[in-house]
Amino acid sequence: MQRACLEFLGTMTPADAAHDLSHVKRVVKNCAYLTDIEDANAFITVPAAWLHDCVAVAKDSPQRALGSRLAAAAAVDFLSGTHYPAEQLPDVYHAIEAHSYSADIKPRSLEAKVVQDADRLDSLGAIGIARCLLVGGHLRRPLFDLEDPFCDQREPDDSLYTIDHFYAKLFKLPATMQTAAGREEAHRRAELMQEYLENLRSEIA
């Protein structure tokens, strides 16, 4: 299954460098870890993790909220052409459609919860910082607001500034985690990000 998924993904172009194959592999790794701890069905979670971003929709696209549904449909279409059991396709579809933050679809199954957590963990910690800055550069957004870099006296607007994304979304992720193991790791990674911002505040003061 891994080889087939890799071959399929090789035909796709990622939306940006933060959603490339290395991101997918990290999500698969996170997913395998959470699947084992939570005793979820790996035959659903792992293919869903491999294929969760198989349709590329740019972060600033008006179609962004539809991206996970498009990926779910493409994944099921692909898996239908393999020896994957047809009766489990709806479970894979739901796990993929529900992983997206922007889609705001509540995960109904343990497997969907695991895949959602696995993907969100890659938005946190050291790799989360790197990916956030990478996307901000891709979108040509300024790093921060010169007058109020850390949103101390204004509402964050991540359509304008990259650092605002920490406050608009990333620091909210730990509270959305669906599994105990995912929540624990999310809080650890968020603390690292807070330390980064404290150091950044000191350096640019």
Asked if 1-112 and 123-205 have one fold, the answer is yes
* pLDDT greater than 90 at residue 64: no
Nearest Cα neighbor of 144 from 61, 200, 78 is: 200
Residue 25, classed as helix, strand or coil, is: helix
- Average per-residue pLDDT for the chain: 95
Give pLDDT tens digits for 79-108: 999 989 999 999 999 999 999 998 999 999
- pLDDT for residue 59: 75
At position 75, the amino acid (one-letter code) is A
- Between the alpha carbon of residue 96 and those of residues 48, 68, 106, 138, the distances in Å are 6, 6, 11, 25
Q: Could you tell me the fold of the domain covering 123-205? A: Hypothetical protein af1432 (1.10.3210)
What share of the chain has pLDDT > 70, as a percent?
100
Average pLDDT score over residue span 168-194: 98
82: its two tokens: 């393999």
- pLDDT for residue 147: 97
Please, which pLDDT band fits residue 151 given cuts at 50, 70 and 90?
A: very high
- Between the alpha carbon of residue 127 and those of residues 187, 201, 203, the distances in Å are 14, 20, 21
* Domains in the chain: boundaries: 1-112, 123-205
How many whole angstroms separate alpha carbon 188 and alpha carbon 11?
A: 35
Give pLDDT tens digits for 50-62: 999 999 887 777 7
Give pLDDT tens digits for 3-17: 889 888 988 888 788
Per the CB < 8 A criterion, the answer to whether 55 and 28 are in contact is no
Q: Taking the domain 1-112, which CATH number applies?
A: 1.10.3210.50
pTM for the model stands at 0.94
How many whole angstroms separate alpha carbon 66 and alpha carbon 159?
A: 19
- pLDDT for residue 45: 98
Instruction: Give DSSP secondary structure letters for 97-130.
Output: HTS-TTTTPPP-SHHHHHHHHHHHHTTSHHHHHH
DSSP at 156 = -
